Structure 1
Amino acid sequence: MEKREFIKSLGLGLGLMPLSGLAKTTEKQPSQDRLLPKKLQPGDQVGLVSPSAATADIMEFTFAREALEALGLKVEQGKYLKERRGHLAGTDAERAADINEMFGNKRIKAIVCIRGGSGAARILPLLDYELIRKNPKPIMGYSDITALHNAINAQTGLITFHGPNGSGSWNNFNANQFRSVFFGTGETITYKNESEETEDLVNKKNRIRTIYPGKAEGSLVGGNLTVLTALAGSPYLPDFRGKLLFLEDIGEEPYRIDRMMSTLMLMGVFRQISGFVFGQCTDCDPGGGYGNLTLDQIFDDYLLPHKIPAFRGAMIGHIPSQFLLPFGAKMAMDANRGILETREALFQ
């Protein structure tokens, strides 16, 4: 699988980078205060970038542009958006340059990542975090974009947005989420799974499971579990103390989910966080062998001993309809009801 192969080769790839590219970030930066991005308005110009994998289908560029235009925005493509180097959307320097350029460009009011895949972690030492800090604006994406969310949060404190990629699904649910978050009145945003009426007596779709009951508050951090744990030991992970941790993944068998959860356990994450939310684990069916722990057993093993509010099944991850979450923002959760709510303004 492309994601796992990339992670295995990450150490070699970084070893080939110039030492000057790593010198600025060999030590974790001091904890940053929350930095609010400037608010996006209909008619604003947004930048479309590709920090991770290359896009093979040329129509995906058209789909992304048309979706953003349908949301009332103007689109400027990154200089290297359509480049390719192996599976990557250009060299590390090119992909980082597009992001730095979009943050420094005064005309650009927000940045949208066209897709995930793999490769975003390679460019983290090449991002200009001081430039980002001085030009706070929304950046949105998910999956491999988890690397950017965590790095930008750890290095600058900027609130970013974990939500649909530019070429992803822009159904009514996702479009309405976008409008509510970016064009809304600034009131409290509640994230609760939508339910569909069926002929069944019991609704079985989008159900949540409470792992441990209770309520909690904290800044929201997390993202794709595989990408998140691949950043372990780097200066690109936020401080987890008192945070709400949300996770999702795709194409990982339960034993690999268990291994990555054990990584977080060994890092002390579950002793530090105030609450836990797991979204969807798409195509995470067990393979052959002597049997597997279930995902429920895995989450129970790691979370129940800490007695923190926790639930799974939220509309987060590689699914057609997904929450657009403010990464780094202060939020509240109710594990009994399966709800997340904002607790502060998201924009300046």
Structure 2
Amino acid sequence: MVAVLKKGDVIGIAASSSPFDKKQFQKGIQSLKKMGFKVFYHSHIFSKENYLAGNDQRRAKELLALFKNKKVKTILFARGGYGAQRIIPLLSPKILQKNRKPVVGVSDLTALLTFLRQKAGIPTFYGPVVTQLGNDVSLMHLSLESALTEPQKNKSISLKNCKIMQSGRARGKLVGGCLSLITSSIGTPYDLDTKNSILFFEDVDEKVYAIDRMLTQLKNSGKLNGVKGILIGSLFPVKGEKHSMEVMLKNTLKHFKGPIVTHFPAGHTKNFVTLPLGATLTLDTTKKTLR
């Protein structure tokens, strides 16, 4: 059972990937405070080392310290970008297992979330980072607050604004995240387990052929064999892309037997619905619900 946060609880913030804009970060912090939470982060969170928020040891130490801090009830991240995969070998599953608490992340945090959930049994959510919360988008804020403060059992997410690419009903464990991070994890100790799952994926600034390549890798590696349904979030291609993402998806996934839903509001999008990774859910295109 995922611990439910209360008003006044402390949210710890880590920078496990790239450096970030301080003004946008502070706006996001204010959004969390408006939700009624207290916020804690170390001053070293603003570290920079090339394209990373400090070296691997700093970032790993920071994250482990938040897990061990009894006052911190859940953990969010400053931003995505790149680098979270690099600290996974420096994290002790034993320490994590003794200090389980909910973790929320997106994009570059995908592999780290998978590791935390699969290797340490930590409840994880695919949801916004702090710099995203600096944007004035009420749906994103409400969805995150609901995920953190309300029991997830029997919750229903509407698919009425999504597109049904393939009809059907499927029940399975919700897994996934950013597609490029899912595929780059194949063959590693934190390889995503897709057995009996509903696979969610999204990505941004990728050419259509690149998404094709990654989906083909999922197919060729057997990752789609245990998938019961597919939920596709935002897939914003690079500017000037001439090829159709929809046509490619239909062609590449034409042999998949389960339901496929596209344009789900999660990922690199403003209307971001926070998703409970690891939860067993039913994807129903007739009822247009995920619950």
Normalized against structure 2, the TM-score is what?
Answer: 0.93
Q: What is residue 129 of structure 2 aligned with on the other side?
A: 165
Offset of residue 329 of structure 1? 1.2
Moved more, 117-126 or 163-172: 163-172
SS of the counterpart of 1:306?
coil
**Equivalent of 1:99 in 35, 50, 63:** 63
8 A contact 2:169–2:282 mirrored in 1: yes
Q: What is residue 216 of structure 1 aligned with on the other side?
A: 170
* Counterpart residue type for residue 137 of structure 2: N
Offset of residue 171 of structure 1? 2.0
Offset of residue 192 of structure 1? 1.8
8 A contact 1:47–1:78 mirrored in 2: no
Give the paired residue count: 289
Where do 5+ consecutive residues of structure 2 fail to align?
none
1:183 maps to 2:141: no
1: distance between equivalents of 2:24 and 2:166?
Answer: 41
1: distance between equivalents of 2:25 and 2:142?
Answer: 22
**Equivalent of 2:10 in 13, 22, 45:** 45
Q: What is residue 60 of structure 1 aligned with on the other side?
A: 24
Q: Deviations over 1:133-192 (max 9, x none)?
A: 121111112111112111112212322011111111352112211232222255522122
Q: How does 1:199-348 map to 2 (within 5 A)?
A: 207-284=161-238, 287=241, 292=243, 294-341=244-291
8 A contact 1:158–1:328 mirrored in 2: no
Q: What is residue 140 of structure 1 aligned with on the other side?
A: 104
Judging changes above 3 Å, is the alpha-carbon distance between structure 1 residues 185 and 218 closer, same or farther for their aligned structure 2 residues?
closer
8 A contact 2:103–2:122 mirrored in 1: no
Q: How does 1:2-81 map to 2 (within 5 A)?
A: 36-55=1-20, 57-81=21-45
**Equivalent of 2:81 in 94, 111, 117:** 117
SS of the counterpart of 2:19?
coil
* Counterpart residue type for residue 42 of structure 1: K
Moved more, 241-250 or 77-86: 77-86
* Counterpart residue type for residue 229 of structure 2: G
The percent of aligned pairs where both chains have the same amino acid is 30
* Counterpart residue type for residue 128 of structure 1: S
8 A contact 2:186–2:192 mirrored in 1: no
8 A contact 2:176–2:192 mirrored in 1: no
SS of the counterpart of 2:70?
coil
Whose Rg is larger? 1
8 A contact 2:182–2:192 mirrored in 1: no
Q: What is residue 25 of structure 1 aligned with on the other side?
A: none
Q: Deviations over 1:187-219 (max 9, x none)?
A: 52212257xxxxxxxxxxxx4222221111111
SS of the counterpart of 1:270?
coil
8 A contact 1:226–1:249 mirrored in 2: yes
Normalized against structure 1, the TM-score is what?
Answer: 0.79
2: distance between equivalents of 1:336 and 1:298?
Answer: 24
1: distance between equivalents of 2:267 and 2:197?
Answer: 19
2: distance between equivalents of 1:320 and 1:85?
Answer: 29
Where do 5+ consecutive residues of structure 1 fail to align?
1-35, 195-206, 342-348
**Equivalent of 1:174 in 121, 140, 150:** 140
* Counterpart residue type for residue 19 of structure 2: A
Q: How does 1:151-162 map to 2 (within 5 A)?
A: 151-162=115-126
Query: Aligned-residue CA RMSD in angstroms?
Result: 1.8
